[in-house]
Structure 1
Amino acid sequence: MRCRPCPHGDSTKNAYIEAWKRSFDYTGRSSRPDYWLFELVNIIVIVVLAVIAGKVEAIQPLVTLYTVAQIVPHLPVTVRRLRDAGKEWPWIFIGLVPVIGGIWLIVLLVMPTVAG
């Protein structure tokens, strides 16, 4: 029996790498899959690093460094995703409103692509 390759494997890796390559690019758009695959890999990396840091204390600075560094690509990919959903970049600040702001931002980020 032959195993099939994961249909999202390459696109997951490409979305993550592309977000890092475009770390300072606030122009253009990012599709829903590009945004959410970047977020998924980002969370997995942080969790894996945290688990390792729990066992090997010397790794803790690496976890902190990655957590801070991932902000650099996270902001532009979020701005591009908002633009793709038909919203302007200032909507990113809705996430600063306690409780409801984060939920509202997630709703905006899952909206379908707006043509144009």
Structure 2
Amino acid sequence: MIKAYIDFWNRAFDFSGRSTRPDYWWVYLINVIISTILVVGFVLIPFFSNVSHNPAILNDSTEIQKMILKYMSPIMIFGLIILIPQLSLQFRRLRDAGIHPAWGLLSCIGLVPILTFFSFIGSIVLIVMSCQPTKPAPETLFDKVE
């Protein structure tokens, strides 16, 4: 598990090669755990602490939005830090499953506000593709980046 996460950071900008299912899912699990800890520590606890001291905040939607944006900063920073390494891992995983790595760009659909709904569908498609077993090298056409 730790080896997979260290490999995740060592190969952060390596969009070629392959990554196995365990390598992909261990990193996914660790990133979910880190994100959960950040949400609890930097959003939920401070938010409910402020609300318990001043319950009138719940009536002011702009104040709630300001608080959430302020507390979400560490989570957004973490998301930006892992963006490129996660994308490269996704490309390597898809290549390992024998699927063209360009499908990994489905994860970027959510960046276009009009296509937010399709981002949900794209995420489901990527999860299914990431669960596919490893295909031996001769069966894949996408091992070499041209």
Greater C-alpha radius of gyration = 2
Specify which of 132, 137, 142 is matched with residue 111 of structure 1: 132
Q: Unpaired runs of 5+ in structure 1?
A: 1-11
Specify which of 28, 51, 66 is matched with residue 78 of structure 2: 66
Letter in 2 for 1:44: I
Is 1:79 the counterpart of 2:91? The answer is yes
Check 1:50–1:108 CA distance in 2 against 1; reply closer, same or farther (3 A cut): same
Q: TM-score by structure 2 length? A: 0.65
CA RMSD of aligned residues (A): 2.0
Partner residue in 1 for 2:11: 22
Report how many aligned residue pairs link the two structures. Answer: 105
| Offset of residue 59 of structure 1 | 6.6
Q: TM-score by structure 1 length? A: 0.80
Letter in 2 for 1:75: L
Partner residue in 2 for 1:35: 24
Which whole-Å CA distance do the structure 1 matches of 2:20 and 2:7 have between them? 12
| Offset of residue 113 of structure 1 | 0.1
Letter in 1 for 2:89: V
